Structure 1
Amino acid sequence: MPKPNILLAIADDLAWPHLSAYGSKMVSTPAADRVACEGTLFTNCYTTAPSCTASRASLLTGRFPWRLEEGFQLWGLLPQKYVVYPDLLEAAGYFIGKTFKGWGPGSVEASGRTRNPAGPAFNRHTCTPLTSCMSTNDYTANFADFLSQKPASAPFCFWYGAKEPHRAYEAGSGVRHGKELSQAEVPAYLPDTPEVRSDLLDYALEIERFDRDLGAMLKILEERGELDNTIVIVTGDNGLPFPRAKANLYQNGCHVPLAIRWGTHIPPNRTITDFISFIDLAPTLLEAAGVDSSPLRSDGRSFLNILTSEASGRVDPTRSSVQTGRERHGYCRPHNLGNPMRSLVTDHFLYIHNFTPERPIHDCDLSPTRTLIESWQTNPYMEPYYDLCFGTRPAEELYLATDGPDCIRNVASDPTYAALLSSCREQLNTLLTIQEDPRILNGGSVFECAPYYGRVTKIDLPPLPSAVTNLPILPLNQEA
């Protein structure tokens, strides 16, 4: 049997449930829906971090970001010693490549690498996009260029890394291209205003650009007779670029779409509720390709058995939880400090531990929604939204799944849930200790001191009271 091709389509800042396959009414994504219908749709896929660099690093290496040293940080590096699955596929005879955004943002050179970990770039072809803020990269033409250079006998692995729906957006573009404000799906943590609705529709329009190129790529593969021997993966790297979503450990920060198609190898039209983490993708793809995944030293495990089974719903009872975390997302605090958090997610709850609750939350993309909330923060209507999005967080947060996905009611201080809170704290502490998370072992000095290779916005800096490595860190097992 020939080795399968691999097409990974990863949108930048695409959150669950913003594919029409999940029932979202503000987007139309026929290509992603086709992948789901002719393959498998996952309802509980989570990235390991709500930040591009760390999320993509986990996908490529199969490792938790807190086990990647400087690889955990936005605009950081991914040390060369950490093996990535495209390199293993290439060594096994695969022709590999990527277009637009692979691993990153960060410094490939400082990582000790000669190319992006996702593969060689195919970015030669450009186009005139639908709006002024969409990428001029002709993703489809660059995929065709990649295929034209592939040796006839070689299987391929291609990373389609769209810019969309990452900001910036052309304000009002969603409405101008036919969407109606009534279609916008406004989460409870954002004010329901025309400005916010319009911003959400701009986001939705960008998702549709990603989907159109995906559809064109599927058509190319179909015409070449290669579609049914291609594993097609559709996902996003983290949550939507709105306050209290991306760069946060709430559901809309880490919960991402996942649909996978592989011809007759995957029974069609199934929905799977097993918890899948980004650390599971690399070992799954390598197993499907018949390539040894042991060089990854992955924290994840293959779910190929789930993909190829006939079952729907919860297939593997042991896949009942995932972990997520974050450190520094942007240069927005004095001395380039992060805002370290870790979480545990199950069917029943989301538990978050904030290690430095005194540090402000400002890791949020600029947007009309952010501007609206910040400009009117003292307004009686807007003040609760400002507190939710930008207020400091308590050391512990606990949200019940029965309250919905928006994570508004924190029950961590409610005595009714004291036993559950204690159990969550103990479970997470045990897992992170086993995983040798530096944040647990030594206060996370490797994260606090990690270099930042992005553009630095000037911040007025007060003097540090002590060395960064001696900053007070709230231990995970300390009662909050």
Structure 2
Amino acid sequence: MRDFVIGAIGLVLTACWTGSSSAASGTVEHGHGSRRNVVMIVSDDHGLQLGCYGETIIKTPHLDALAAEGTRFANAFCVTASCSPSRSTILTGRFGHATGQYGLAHSYHNFRAMPKQTSLPKLLNEDGVRTAIIGKFHVLPEEMYPFETLPGNARNPVAMADACRKFLAECVESQTPFFLYFCTIDPHRSGDVNESLPERPNRFGNIEGGHKGVVETGYDPDKMVVPPWLPNTPESRAEWAEYAQSVSRVDQGVGRLIEILRQTGAWDNTLVIYLSDNGPAFPGAKTTLYEPGMKLPCIVRDPAAKSTGVVNEGLISWVDLAPTVLEAMGGLTEERAKGFHGRSFLSLVGCDDPQGRDVVYGSHTFHEVTMYFPMRAVREPRFKLIWNLAAPLPFPFASDLYNSATWQAALKAGPDSPYGVRTVAQTMGPRPSFELYDLQTDPLEQRNLADDPAYQQELKRLQDKLRAFQKRTNDPWILKWERE
């Protein structure tokens, strides 16, 4: 199966294609009446903790309702579990190793994409689409992403939604197609101290600007069930409770935004995408290419889709998002498609056929500027290979993860103490050059098969696939196959 197809996008009929060409694909007619508007909601550090993904404690009724009206992708992946490079991929459809957005953009980290590259807002602006961002931006250079900026407190998703009302109403009134990039900071760890729990620093909750309009759900740390990749300790449960609270804030913001889309008359012609930039901000997830860091929620509600409440098992990647949005808005030409590393998955919305979506790739190089630890990964439905290109180095920890109460308690317990499904020492590294996992029998990635004689054929096959991917996407780190 080819990893991605570049062809006459929008002219291929699939088993799940429905409706007229302009309504179903958005690629034939270019009048404003034939396009969908698009709202892309990107939360910060949110894993698969939603009711529609099987979560039983954290309350996400609005996101669950969105999934009931749309398509839930069961196998959706970021390409790197780090904020800036992940967001750059979302907005360019290209891997960070090719754009130059290798790590965090803010402060002294100062990673930025190379000059003279295009982006989703640039292309949409060329098509007469009004593009706006509210909330977290976190990519550079700013001129590469020519959004109209809407003011709003990114720690209050409900207030963010209210701040979008004027923009949405204006677009509907003027019949101008719009792309709204709605980016919360929740549930990102804030690094601030929650005064209600002064003995536990580096909390998720952040009172910046307050949470006016948000109904605090209230989660009892003693009743929290942490995922198996986290230690079941009082510190971990307390932090997980605050993470749960911030997830519920995001959910309420999504609910308010949908309400405003309905009130302004935009809902019936607007495609809504919900996703996260990377997994939760805990050691074992964020900044890793393990499943908790990469495997994320993706819910898409398309008014042109024939079926609702659909679950699609196809593997999709964040490099696919930009071409998907372009196709929905009528702007994905064959020439533009050649500029992306991904391909549109619009035909999968409202469809349970994975249509050959059987591989995604990961590419991580930095998080903070001091955290050089390049990793590349290839992930199929059954097997996953991670290549740690700097394997002799200790695995570097993000400052907020290292300082968290969860990790500090784990360090005090000692290197041989359990940290979820691994030990503290295993979580810290060093790591082997190659990690091969059979996700069918080992979904928690506990048993590395790279040195197992029975799996050498799989190892070689995936290594060849990874190297071909690097060549295809102009990865400078392909040189590591030959020399240091």
TM-score in terms of structure 2 length: 0.81
2:343 maps to what in 1? 301
What is the deviation of 1:436?
2.3
User: Structure 1 148/404 Cα, relative in aligned 2: closer, same or farther at 3 Å?
Assistant: same
* Contact 2:218–2:245 (Cα < 8 Å) also in 1: no
Structure 1: runs of 5 or more not aligned:
128-133, 442-472
2:391 maps to what in 1? 357
CA distance in 1, matches of 2:306, 2:374: 39
* Contact 2:321–2:344 (Cα < 8 Å) also in 1: yes
CA distance in 2, matches of 1:11, 1:118: 21
The reply on whether 1:44 has 2:72 as its aligned counterpart is no
* Contact 1:45–1:257 (Cα < 8 Å) also in 2: yes
CA distance in 2, matches of 1:174, 1:100: 17
CA distance in 1, matches of 2:276, 2:396: 22
What is the deviation of 1:295?
3.8
1:117 maps to what in 2? 145
Q: How many residues align?
A: 422
1:343 to 377, 381, 386: 377
User: Structure 1 423/142 Cα, relative in aligned 2: closer, same or farther at 3 Å?
Assistant: same
* Contact 1:25–1:183 (Cα < 8 Å) also in 2: no
The reply on whether 1:325 has 2:380 as its aligned counterpart is no
CA distance in 2, matches of 1:177, 1:6: 29
Structure 2: runs of 5 or more not aligned:
1-32, 106-110, 206-215
User: Structure 1 252/142 Cα, relative in aligned 2: closer, same or farther at 3 Å?
Assistant: same
1:370 maps to what in 2? 407
What is the deviation of 1:393?
0.5
CA distance in 1, matches of 2:416, 2:101: 40
* Contact 1:5–1:156 (Cα < 8 Å) also in 2: yes
2:135 to 90, 100, 114: 100
User: Structure 1 402/212 Cα, relative in aligned 2: closer, same or farther at 3 Å?
Assistant: same
1:179 maps to what in 2? 219
The reply on whether 1:54 has 2:85 as its aligned counterpart is yes
Counterpart amino acid of 1:95? R
User: What SS does the corresponding residue of 2:297 show, helix, strand or coil?
Assistant: strand
What is the deviation of 1:149?
4.6
Q: How does 1:47-446 map to 2 (within 5 A)?
A: 47-68=78-99, 70-75=100-105, 76-102=111-137, 104=138, 106=139, 108=140, 111=141, 113-114=142-143, 117=145, 119-123=147-151, 125-126=152-153, 134-135=155-156, 138-150=159-171, 152-168=174-190, 170=194, 177-181=217-221, 183-293=223-333, 294-295=335-336, 297-308=339-350, 311-312=351-352, 314-317=353-356, 319-333=357-371, 338-364=372-398, 365=401, 366-378=403-415, 380-381=417-418, 385-441=423-479
Counterpart amino acid of 2:120? Y
Deviation track 1:352-410 (CA, whole Å, cap 9, x = no partner) reads 00111112212332321122122333464569531232121100001111244322221
Deviation track 1:209-234 (CA, whole Å, cap 9, x = no partner) reads 11101100100111222212100000
CA distance in 2, matches of 1:247, 1:118: 28
CA distance in 2, matches of 1:330, 1:423: 32
CA distance in 2, matches of 1:427, 1:405: 21
Counterpart amino acid of 2:88? A
* Contact 1:344–1:350 (Cα < 8 Å) also in 2: yes
* Contact 1:40–1:266 (Cα < 8 Å) also in 2: no
CA distance in 1, matches of 2:88, 2:248: 25
Deviation track 1:332-358 (CA, whole Å, cap 9, x = no partner) reads 45xxxx100100101111110011111
* CA RMSD after TM alignment: 2.6
* Contact 1:283–1:301 (Cα < 8 Å) also in 2: yes
What is the deviation of 1:179?
2.1
User: Structure 1 219/177 Cα, relative in aligned 2: closer, same or farther at 3 Å?
Assistant: closer
1:31 maps to what in 2? 62
Deviation track 1:156-203 (CA, whole Å, cap 9, x = no partner) reads 110110000101274589999532446534333322112111211211
- Percent identity between the two aligned chains: 28
Deviation track 1:402-446 (CA, whole Å, cap 9, x = no partner) reads 2443222212222222221122112211221232210004xxxxx
Counterpart amino acid of 1:155? P
CA distance in 1, matches of 2:417, 2:330: 59
Deviation track 1:438-476 (CA, whole Å, cap 9, x = no partner) reads 0004xxxxxxxxxxxxxxxxxxxxxxxxxxxxxxx5x27
CA distance in 2, matches of 1:212, 1:343: 34
Counterpart amino acid of 1:93? G
* Contact 1:353–1:476 (Cα < 8 Å) also in 2: no
User: What SS does the corresponding residue of 2:89 show, helix, strand or coil?
Assistant: helix
* Contact 1:332–1:363 (Cα < 8 Å) also in 2: no
What is the deviation of 1:148?
4.5
2:108 maps to what in 1? none
TM-score in terms of structure 1 length: 0.82
User: Structure 1 285/429 Cα, relative in aligned 2: closer, same or farther at 3 Å?
Assistant: same
User: What SS does the corresponding residue of 1:217 show, helix, strand or coil?
Assistant: helix
CA distance in 1, matches of 2:162, 2:262: 15
CA distance in 1, matches of 2:52, 2:240: 18
User: Structure 1 218/261 Cα, relative in aligned 2: closer, same or farther at 3 Å?
Assistant: same
* Contact 2:157–2:254 (Cα < 8 Å) also in 1: no
User: What SS does the corresponding residue of 1:273 show, helix, strand or coil?
Assistant: strand
